[in-house]
Amino acid sequence: MFLIVMLPTFAASIFLLNGMRNITRDKTIESALAKADSLSYWVSEIVSNGEQAVSSAMTDPTITGFLTEEHEDQSSYYKFYSEHRLDKLISLPASAENMFIYVSRPDFVYSSSFLKTDFQTASSAWYIQATSSSAPVWAVVHDPVADGQRLACIGSIRSNGEILGVAMVTISNDWIENVPLDDAMSYSFMLNGVVYNSDAPNILPGTDLSDKRDYYINDTYKTYDTSLYGVRGYGVVRNIRIGSDVYQIALYLPNQSIAYELDRLSFIYGGYCALMVVLSLLIILLFTSTFSARIKTLSDKMHKVADGDFNVSFNDSGTDEISLLYDDLSLMISNMRRLINDNYEAKLQGEAIKFTQMEAEFKALSSQINPHFLYNTLETIRMKAYVNNDKETADLVKKLGKFMRRCLEFKDTEVTLKSELEFTKAYLELQQARFGDRITYHIYSEVDGEYMILPLLIQPLVENAFVHGVEASKGGGKIDIRVVYHNEYVFVDVSDNGQGMSEERLKELEHKLEVSDTSSGKSIGLTNVHKRIQMYHGNKYGMKVTSTEGQGTTIRLTLPREPEKGLMGGASQEK
């Protein structure tokens, strides 16, 4: 489809580009014709203004009187020069650069404006032409002040048929070079011959084109495709009349300047066509790749659903057939989830019934042992020991009774941190009575004592520290319990300085905690504590174990922080 549409379009573009190149070339030549008129007017202004200035000098009475007067001494010359300046006597046009008057008198005192006519000047062609004509003439001369070739208008000053001097007005090269044409155009203008060529570095005399009839067509335009002064291109020859004189203008546009415009047009238009082709290709590729990507995404999600993963998300916002497939897949997943949830709830109800039956059987069995009988018996033993003045035994029996009461009354509901720490302390005191000075402990808490915590979270950690940490030590065993705030968490750290664990044993324990593995019969207490915390508070909470073999172990419980009701002020218990 792309080739069928784009190939004819591209062929039409090439045809249009060729037509536009021809139009551009014709427009450039028409512009040259229009510029020829502008240049004709500009040359006419230079010629008219220059001849007017020279004519004024030829007829000015002050200048004529000064040149005809016999002066007695040099002071009269200096007085005239100080009172009269040529640029004040004669109104020079803006195009004029300098004005001189050449005088040939032996007793004349010359100045910067009144120059001496030496032999070289008197024998020059322009001087002879000016003295032979009563009207101003044009020539290329050497400007003695600017020290360079200049276009000049020259006329003889006469009185009663006698030539008193020759007036000269030179035209500024800067004025000529500022002709209002494009930089790409070359031009020449002629005053009875070529006197200025823009491709030359300065004013140069040239060859009269009047003998070339193809170019010398009076008061008409002529285009040509030939070489003029070594430049091939298109051009215009324009002849203008000022008074009785004919002035010729040759305006030409080199081929390379036209080629530049045509090449620039080809580059822009060709680049535009190429851009359209590339953009079309990109749009097609983008469309097909997007379509393929959506199909691939739909296929991947269907495979996931087939593998049992129903937590797939859909973010397709299209309105085509693929979007309908997404909608059908989403509806199918919803129905499957509903069926699975219904099945799961049915199983939960069955398990709840079995659990209720087992709980009833357990209560029936436990009711056969009256807890009050156990507490009363322990209290009787404590009182007899106390009566027999065995206070240490009495104290241990009391602590054992409190410990047993807490164990028998255990329910998986929250208790205060204060009561949990007291229960743990009772366990530590019973163990200390067993091990004596071999074991010391320290309990520190900066958390509010009314902070609610699941029961039997800390005591299993302390028991683990005894059994696997400091029990085998002969002395210096130490257990530290710290409960502190940390950002939005509460940390419970239980540390010992016992045997520690090897790296392999630590990784094995971490794996059991991660998968809640109790099949081996080891670390059941730690696994249950970790599992209870995550089930109650979420998976980002739980237990973390760090240990160094031969140095000790630290077990950290991470719990959610509750609003503070009153700190214990860093209460510390140590024994």
Q: Are 499 and 550 in contact, with CB atoms under 8 Å apart?
A: yes
| Edge-first strand listing for the sheet containing 137-143 | 114-116, 96-103, 162-171, 148-159, 137-143
Tokens, residue 508: 């094995």
- What torsion do the CA atoms of 428, 429, 434, 435 make, to the nearest 10 degrees? 70
| Tens digits of pLDDT across the chain (575 residues) | 777 777 777 777 777 777 777 777 777 767 767 777 777 777 788 888 888 999 999 999 999 988 888 887 888 888 888 888 887 888 888 888 899 999 988 888 888 889 999 999 999 988 998 999 888 888 888 888 877 788 889 999 998 888 999 999 998 877 877 766 655 555 566 555 555 566 554 444 444 444 443 333 333 344 444 444 455 566 666 666 665 666 666 666 666 666 666 677 777 777 777 787 788 788 888 878 777 877 887 787 788 778 777 777 767 666 777 777 877 877 888 888 888 888 888 787 767 656 655 554 444 444 444 554 455 556 666 666 666 776 667 666 666 666 666 665 555 578 899 988 988 888 888 777 777 778 888 999 999 989 998 888 888 888 888 887 777 777 778 899 999 999 899 999 999 988 888 888 888 888 888 877 655 555 577 888 888 888 888 888 999 999 888 888 999 999 998 744 433 334 444 44
Which pLDDT belongs to residue 559? 93
525: exposed, middle or buried (Cβ count in 10 Å: 0-12, 13-18, 19+):
middle
Tokens, residue 448: 């509010």
User: In the 8-state DSSP scheme, what is residue 436?
Assistant: G
Which pLDDT belongs to residue 546? 92
Tokens, residue 513: 């905690």
Beta bridge partners of residue 574, listed in sequence order: 442
Number of other CB atoms surrounding residue 256 within 10 Å: 12
Q: Are 251 and 56 in contact, with CB atoms under 8 Å apart?
A: no
Helix (H, G, I), strand (E, B) or coil at 316: coil
Q: Domain boundaries in the chain?
A: 1-274, 410-574
Which pLDDT belongs to residue 235? 63
Rounded CA gap, 187 and 300, in Å? 75
Tokens, residue 432: 């200390």
Rounded CA gap, 247 and 190, in Å? 6
Classify domain 410-574 by CATH number: 3.30.565.10
Which pLDDT belongs to residue 526? 84
Residue 134: which residues within 8 A CB-CB, separation 6 or more? 156, 158
Tokens, residue 366: 């436990």
Number of other CB atoms surrounding residue 417 within 10 Å: 24
Which pLDDT belongs to residue 368? 42
| Whether the model pTM is above 0.85 | no
